[in-house]
Structure 1
Amino acid sequence: MELACLTVFLLSLLPSFEGRYALVLGVFRGLNPILSMLAASAGVILLSIVLPYAFPKIDDLMVWMLRHGGRFRVKVASAYLKHVGRIRVKAKPYIGKYGIPGLIFFVALPLPSSGVWTGALIAYVLAMSRYKTMAVLLAGGLLSNFITLTFTLLGFGLPSPL
């Protein structure tokens, strides 16, 4: 059981998996749905705290690579910084229109290419404060876990955890 909880937690940290898919895997592997939800939610909480601090460090690394890197590093850093700049320009009108609730909804959508990692990147490129970003990621990530667990339990006739 401890290994299954650890597996759900570790998978919940991966960008393409995240908590919502990790908890489904835990339930299908026979883990109690509440334990699966708790392990996946622990991953969401950790990512909600770490990611707002990580993205600025990545930018610092890219700027350093521009100044001190060889030809390949300069190409990579230039491409990254240009891409982030384009995202900032494209995403700003949408967040301006829908605001924080829109970003929470985006993070909560249990679909590929949405989620905590993508929400953190969007919040970063739009220069949202770290604390707002943490709140958005936490609310959206936990809501996503709840939605996914609900559909998993309803859709597959599994016993209710309550």
Structure 2
Amino acid sequence: MQNLIDLIRSTFSNEIALLIISMLPLIELKGSIPIGLAMGFKPINAYLYSIIGSTIPAIFILLWIMPIISYMKTKDSLKKLAGWAEKKAKKKQGNIKKYEYLGLFLFVAIPLPGTGVWMGSLIASILGLNKKKSLLTIALGNLIAGLIIYTFSSFFF
């Protein structure tokens, strides 16, 4: 993962690099805010670039993940991966299914491993939640998660 981050940083401006880093599924803003601070960004800039970058994937996931998963299920080489993604999302859907948008908001807003924009968007899609409401809910949850991560990161930078 460090090699990927180094490649991105050496290829793009610091701002674009931080946007791209924050879009990565395992990093999102949980990793990109501390990375931005370590790169020397002003705290507000690290926060804003990370929020923008980590929210962008939600748009594409909400719009296209279900057709992509359906297609993957028709291909023997991709069937297992599609099943894995669905299984992982269904395992985490409990409170989102029960409380819908409030559950989705909390799922994204509380920055724990396995939560965030990518998984929240996947779960919202699998549950068939309204895409516009889901995007707004995910974006708001991401703003809160960013504030939490920024607050903890500020103790170290």
Q: Determine if the alignment matches structure 1 residue 41 to structure 2 residue 51.
A: yes
Residue among 67, 77, 80 paired with 2:79: 77
The structure-2 alpha-carbon separation of the partners of 1:28 and 1:126, relative to structure 1 and needing over 3 Å to count, comes to: same
* Shift of residue 149, structure 1, vs aligned partner: 0.7
Q: Which residue is 1:121 aligned to?
A: 122
Which region of structure 1 is more displaced relative to structure 2, 92-101 or 11-20? Answer: 92-101
Structure 2 residue corresponding to 1:56, chosen from 66, 75, 81: 66
Larger mean CA deviation between 93-102 and 40-49 belongs to 93-102
Report if aligned partners of 2:124, 2:134 keep a CA contact under 8 Å in 1: yes
Is the 1:44–1:138 Cα contact (8 Å) retained in structure 2? no
Partner of 1:30: 40
Instruction: Return the offset for 1:44.
Output: 2.8
Q: Distance in 1 between matches of 2:57 and 2:17?
A: 16
Q: Structure 2 CA distance, aligned partners of 1:146 and 1:77? A: 38
* Paired residues of 1:85 and 1:125 also in contact (CA < 8 A): no
1:14 aligned partner: 24
Shift of 1:114: 0.8
SS at match of 2:13: helix
Displacement after TM superposition at 1:79 (Å):
6.3
For structure 2, which runs of at least 5 residues remain unmatched after alignment?
1-11
Is 1:98 the counterpart of 2:96? The answer is: no
1:110 to 1:95, Cα distance in 2 relative to 1, 3 A? closer
**Equivalent residues of 2:33, 2:153 under 8 A apart:** no
SS at match of 2:23: coil
Task: Name the aligned partner's letter for residue 102 of structure 1.
Answer: G
Paired residues in the alignment total 146
Partner of 1:130: 131
Q: Which amino acid aligns with 1:45?
A: T
Task: Give the partner amino acid of 1:44.
Answer: S
Q: How far has the Cα of 1:3 moved from its partner?
A: 2.1
Structure 1 pair 7/125, CA: closer, same or farther in 2 (3 Å)? same
> Is 1:5 matched with 2:15?
yes
Alpha carbon RMSD of aligned pairs, Å?
A: 2.5
How far off its partner does 1:118 sit? 0.7
In structure 2, how many angstroms separate the alpha carbons of the residues matched to 1:12 and 1:45?
Answer: 9
Distance apart, 1:109 and its partner CA = 1.9
1:98-138 per-residue CA deviation (whole Å, 9 max, x = no partner) reads: 33212211112222211100111111111111112211211
